[in-house]
Amino acid sequence: MDKLYNWVKERGPICLGLDTALEYIPESIRSRHINKEDQIFAFNRGIIEATKDIVASYKVQIAYYEAEGIQGLMAYKKTLDYIKANKVPVIADIKRGDISKTAQMYAKAHFSGDFEVDAITVNMYMGTDTIEPYYEYLKKGKGIFVLLKTSNPRSGDIQNIKTQTGEFVYHEIMKLLDKKGKELLGQSHYSPIGAVVGCTHPEDGVAIREYMKNTFFLIPGYGAQGGKPQDVVKYLINGNGGIINSSRGLILAYKKETWKGLKFDEAARKATIEMKDTILQQLKLITQG
């Protein structure tokens, strides 16, 4: 999280999601590359080259690559390698949630070897023992983002159930994460145990931020899912402490009327700059207000 904190400080809080489906890839790439692996990687490489100087991180959603079999996973590996070669922080959105030896294997798979990344997403709704196997890697500079209050419309079906204490389920998880996180604070005073807090439930998000001062947030839901800039900036602390993710809104910008006629990578860059400028303007308004 120290690494992410410094990148946000330097470049702003934008996290670009590479949720790359085959149907997102323009004909200009598909006509030049026969197999799926090359098509996906060529698209991702173009997006990375166009945005690597203006984003704080990339989030790569593994499901899009698993869906295409071995070729998809090879494209996934090449994408991770390319991001790392450009020294930009990379998050694998894998949402693993298991215990004991299985969780140890997930940790090994994504914090070392072919699929090594800086941070991963984790689901701890099976209990605290789902995240314990990752601790040894956290002490070596890796990070996890634990699902806390997610951006999907029906997140409340489980997360907002009231417990015996009268609080919501996600409140209980919030307290557990905050307590453990404070034992592992880095130089930036943020824990390597981060939280996924969607910006589509702003009242919940603001309350969570008020409680979790030392937790770095991965903030999905911006743009396509309905998250608004005036809400999402409230999840940050002095413009830092979190990264705001947008995937389709950026990588599919070339399909929008606004950027019609531009190449896919040029449109992605313009859309990323627009998102960044909008959020920075909202931060400025808060500071002035």
Q: Where are the alpha helices (DSSP H) in 223-263?
A: 229-232, 248-251
User: What's the token pair of residue 91?
Assistant: 């998050």
> Is residue 214 a contact partner of residue 182, using CB atoms and an 8 Å limit?
yes
Q: Show the tokens assigned to 99.
A: 């215990």
Q: Which residues contact 173 (CB under 8 A, 6 or more apart)?
A: 124, 125, 146, 148
> 112 is written with which tokens?
């070392």
C-alpha 258 chain-centroid distance: 25
Q: How far apart are CA 6 and CA 11, in angstroms?
A: 9
Partnered with residue 16 across adjacent β-strands are 58, 246
Out of 52, 95, 255, 263, the active site residue is 95
- 187-217 burial by CB neighbour count: b if 16+ within 10 A, else e? ebebbbbbbbbbbbbbebbeebbeebebbbb
95 an active-site residue? yes
Phi, psi of 227 (to 5 degrees): -65, 135
Q: Which residues belong to the active site?
A: 95
